[in-house]
Amino acid sequence: MPSIRDALPADYNAWRMLWAAYLDFYQVQLEEETTQSTWESAINPLVPRRIRVLEVENDLTGFALIQFQTSSWQVRPVCYLEDLFISERHRGKGLGRAMLDNLICVAKESGCSEFYWHARRDNTHARRLYDRYVKEDGNVRYRLPIG
């Protein structure tokens, strides 16, 4: 059985390996400063975001990054899942589902009224999992770099 919990400072090295594999999956390179900022803000209890880590037999095999946000459409906060990753050799065994179930519980316990996330259209493995939860809502995302 996997165990899922908030990341601790001592998880940094193991998380860093997963983060590198996640960036490879997306074929993205980030500045070191960005990775440091992501980690430090997610383990800072004063910042409304969290990294959850998933362990199998004391081995960190997955992580997710969530953030709590206010919403103009709802009184209660909403929870946004920004990143989700299970290491390649552990995929297809229900760990992604276990992580999502856990994140939804965390969001509920934190008073959120909604849990939402994005997926690439062609990410078929991820979408097969996501389609079990809810139908995609038809939104199209625009991202404009502003320097």
Ligand X SMILES: CC(C)(COP(=O)(O)OP(=O)(O)OC[C@H]1O[C@@H](n2cnc3c(N)ncnc32)[C@H](O)[C@@H]1OP(=O)(O)O)[C@@H](O)C(=O)NCCC(=O)NCCS
* Footprint on this chain of ligand X (rule: CB under 6 A): 25, 84-86, 91-97, 119, 123, 125-126, 128-129
Q: Which is nearer to ligand X, 64 or 112 (CB)?
A: 64
Task: For residue 98, give the nearest of 35, 59, 52 by alpha carbon.
Answer: 52
Q: How far apart are the first and last CA of the chain?
A: 44
CA atoms within 13 A on the CB side of 87: 17
Q: Nearer to ligand X by C-beta: 69 or 102?
A: 102
Residue 34's contacts (CB-CB under 8 Å, 6 or more residues apart) are none
Residue 120 dihedral angles phi and psi, to the nearest 5°: -70, 145
Nearest distance, CB of residue 86 and ligand X, angstroms: 4
Residue placing its CB nearer to ligand X in the complex, 39 or 85: 85
| CB 10 to ligand X: min, Å | 23
Nearest distance from residue 62's CB to ligand X, in Å? Answer: 7
